[in-house]
Homo-oligomer: A and B are copies of this chain.
Amino acid sequence: MTEKNLLPELTAHLYASSAAESGRTPSERELAEHFGVSRGQIRETLAVLEAMRIVERRAKSGIFLTARSASVDAMALFAQAGLPLDPVRIYEAVELRKIHEIKAAELASQRATEENFVRLEEILAASERRIAAGEPLAEEDRDFHLEIVRATRNTVFYNVCGVYYAVGLRRLPIYFGDPSRCAQSHAEHLGIYDALRRRDGNLAQALMNAHLQGAESYWKGLLDARVEPAAE
């Protein structure tokens, strides 16, 4: 039971127990006692948090939360830790996602190999089974989109996109809670797949744009609705 991953828990605890004004967190010794682990464990975890610029350690002074980081790594960690993500950050990530994936659709239409198409077909088949069973889509959606990015044959691109999908995955059940949305999303995926198959880059781009537009407005609406005064 000691092999649990401290990172998310510590992150959550730091935000829960930091001083409102200064952002100063409990000391390493206090944290160690709180989690029932050694100070070394805490320091190791804090080193990672510091590398992600989520926290700043000032020698002989204390540990301070930095201005909320907007790195995708940090956002993914926040999501994992169950921390509320800044709605603005989420919307920004969605905008970035559109930038990435519309271009990815174009590149994939030129570079996708048979292997990519086979993978896409498998994912689409899995989606179909889900829908037929009346179950909501889950990682099938992410897999479909990431496979297209992979088809660009740009591993840096793929890695960057892969990270922020960790942010969204936890929220997919909300989005796909509506069965009709699942069906429409799947239908759009089929259209994109067809366009890629026909190597029609312009069509693939246009369809991806429309597809993401739907998701974007959904999130925008959701975020506008729950304007948290506490946020920011």
Q: In the complex, are the beta carbons of B44 and A159 less than 8 A apart?
A: no
Inside 8 A of A159's CB, which chain B residues have their CB? Answer: 69-72
Copies per complex? 2
Q: Does A43 contact B (CB under 8 A)?
A: yes
Least CB distance, A4 to chain B, in whole angstroms: 14
B45 near A43 with CB under 8 A, answer: no
Instruction: Give the shortest distance, in Å, between A163 (CB) and chain B (any CB).
Output: 7
Interface residues of A in 84-143 (CB under 8 A from B): 88-89, 92-93, 95-96, 99-100, 103
With a CB–CB cut-off of 8 A, which chain B residues contact A47?
Answer: 44-45, 47-48
Q: Chain A: interface secondary structure? A: helix
Which residues, 175 to 217 on A, are CB-close (under 8 Å) to B? none
Contact B92 A155 (CB under 8 A): yes
Please give, as numbers and ranges, the residues of chain B lying within 8 Å of A40 by CB-CB distance.
40, 43
Beta-carbon nearest neighbor of A48 in chain B? B51
CB pair B100–A99 under 8 Å, yes or no, is yes
Complexed CA–CA distance, A71 and B44 (Å)? 21
